Structure 1
Amino acid sequence: MVMGEPRREEYKIQSFDAETQQLLKTALKDPGAVDLEKVANVIVDHSLQDCVFSKEAGRMCYAIIQAESKQAGQSVFRRGLLNRLQQEYQAREQLRARSLQGWVCYVTFICNIFDYLRVNNMPMMALVNPVYDCLFRLAQPDSLSKEEEVDCLVLQLHRVGEQLEKMNGQRMDELFVLIRDGFLLPAGLSSLAQLLLLEIVEFRAAGWKTTPAAHKYYYSEVSD
C-alpha cells in the first residue's frame, strides 16, 4: 500500500452517514473507545440492505477483530457479530419471505464472514453448518426458479465451496445432489440458471478450479 493511501476498509465506510462513518473509523483505529456491540449491529444491518457492502464487509470485520485483539485481547466485537448472525439465521425464512434481496445479502454476508474469520488459522466451526443450511435453502426448487438466488448460490460456492468441503465433505455431496436434481425440475430453470448450475458442477468436479475450456465456454455464453 502506498503511504498516505486510505485503507480499503475506509473506502467502504463512505456509504454510511457521517456519524456512523466516524464510529467505524474509530472501531478500526481505537476499538476500545467505542461500543463494539453497536458497531457489529451497524455492520450487519447495513449488510442486509446493501448487497455491494455485504460482499466486502468480512474484510472490515476481520480488521476490527484484529485491532481489538491487539489492544485489549478481547473479542466483544466478534461475539456481538456472531450473536447477530445467529439471530438472523434463526429468522432466515421470515427474512426471505419479507425481502428476497435482504436474504441474498444475508447469505453473501455470512459466507464473507466465514471466508475471512479464522481461529488458529482455521475457518470457524461455528459457521460451517449455518453456511451450509443457507446454501441448501438456495438449492431448493422454489429458490432455483429465481435467478438472483441461483446467482447467489453459485457465487458463494465459488468463494467458500472448497473450504466448506474440507470442513464437511458429506454435506457438500448432499448439496450437489440437490443442484443436479435442480436440472430436472418440472417447472424448468431459466437458461441462465441452468448454465450457472452446470458451471458450478464442473467447477467442483475440476477440484474447485475453472479449466480454460470451461471459462471460455461459460463466459462467452453469459456475455452473449
Structure 2
Amino acid sequence: MVMGEPRREEYKIQSFDAATQQLLKTALKDPGAVDLEKVANVIVDHSLQDCVFSKEAGRMCYAIIQAESKQAGQSVFRRGLLNRLQQEYQAREQLRARSLQGWVCYVTFICNIFDYLRVNNMPMMALVNPVYDCLFRLAQPDSLSKEEEVDCLVLQLHRVGEQLEKMNGQRMDELFVLIRDGFLLPTGLSSLAQLLLLEIIEFRAAGWKTTPAAHKYYYSEVSD
C-alpha cells in the first residue's frame, strides 16, 4: 500500500453520512471506543439497502473483528453481527415479500460474510445452513422466474459454492437437483436465466472452474 493511501474499507465508507463515516472509521482503528453492536446494526441496515455495499461489506466486518480481537480479545461485534443476520434470516420470507432488492442484498451480504469470516481458518459452521437455505429459496420456481434472483443465485455459487460443498456436499447435490429441474422445466424462465443456470451447472461439473471454451461461449452470449 502506498503511504497515505486510504484502505479499501475506507472507500466503502463514503456512501454513509458524516457521523456514520466517523463511527465506522473509529471501529476500524479503535474498536473499543465505539458501541460495536450499533456498528453491526449500521452495517447490516446499509447492506439491505445498498447492493453494491452488500457485496463488499464482509471485508469491512472482517477488518473490524480482527481489530477488536487484537485490542480487547473480545467478539462483541461478531456476536452483534451474527445476531442481526439470524433475525433477518428468520424473517426472510417477509423481507422477500416486502422488497425483492432487500432480499437479494441480504443473500449477497450473508454469502459475503460467510466468505470472509473464519474461525481457525475454517468457514463458520453456524452460517452453513442459513446460507444454504437462502440459496435453496433462490432455486424455487417462483424465484427462478425473476432474473434478479437467478443472477444472485449464480453469483453467490460462483463465490462460495466450492466452500459450501466442502462443508455439506449432500445439500449441494440437493440444490443442484432443484437448479437442473428449474432449467429443464422452463416455466417463465427468460433466455438469460436459462443461460445463467446452464453456466453454473457446467461450472460445478468442471470442479468449480470455468473452462476457456465455456468462458468464451457464455460471456460472448451475455455481452451480445
Q: Same fold (TM over 0.5)?
A: yes
1:142 & 1:122 partners in 2: Cα distance? 34
Q: What is the CA-CA distance between 1:192 and the residue it aligns to?
A: 0.1
Query: Residue 184 of structure 2: SS of its match in structure 1?
Result: coil
Deviations 1:61-97 (A, max 9, x none): 0000000000000000000000000000000000000
Q: What is the CA-CA distance between 1:184 and the residue it aligns to?
A: 3.1
Deviations 1:173-213 (A, max 9, x none): 00000000002335231000000000000000000000000
Residue matched to 1:85: 85
CA RMSD of aligned residues (A): 0.6
Deviations 1:84-119 (A, max 9, x none): 000000000000000000000000000000000000
TM-score w.r.t. the length of structure 1 is: 0.99
Query: Residue 5 of structure 2: SS of its match in structure 1?
Result: coil
2:186 & 2:211 partners in 1: Cα distance? 31
Query: Residue 209 of structure 1: SS of its match in structure 2?
Result: coil
Deviations 1:27-68 (A, max 9, x none): 000000000000000000000000000000000000000000
Residue matched to 2:35: 35
2:51 & 2:161 partners in 1: Cα distance? 20
2:169 & 2:193 partners in 1: Cα distance? 24
Residue matched to 1:175: 175
Deviations 1:118-172 (A, max 9, x none): 0000000000000000000000000000000000000000000000000000000
1:188 & 1:68 partners in 2: Cα distance? 48
2:7 & 2:74 partners in 1: Cα distance? 23
Contact 1:31 1:67 in 2 (8 A): yes
1:91 & 1:210 partners in 2: Cα distance? 35
Percent identity between the two aligned chains: 99
1:185 & 1:39 partners in 2: Cα distance? 44
1:2 & 1:204 partners in 2: Cα distance? 38
1:177 & 1:93 partners in 2: Cα distance? 22
2:5 & 2:161 partners in 1: Cα distance? 33
1:64 & 1:195 partners in 2: Cα distance? 38
* Within-5 A mapping of 1:13-28: 13-28=13-28
Query: Residue 183 of structure 1: SS of its match in structure 2?
Result: helix
Contact 1:141 1:185 in 2 (8 A): no
Deviations 1:2-30 (A, max 9, x none): 11100000000000000000000000000
Between stretches 135-144 and 175-184, larger displacement belongs to 175-184
2:175 & 2:5 partners in 1: Cα distance? 43
Between stretches 153-162 and 179-188, larger displacement belongs to 179-188
Query: Residue 6 of structure 1: SS of its match in structure 2?
Result: coil
1:208 aligns with 2:220: no
Identify unmatched segments of 5+ residues in structure 2.
Answer: none
Identify unmatched segments of 5+ residues in structure 1.
Answer: none
Contact 1:62 1:117 in 2 (8 A): yes
1:214 & 1:188 partners in 2: Cα distance? 25
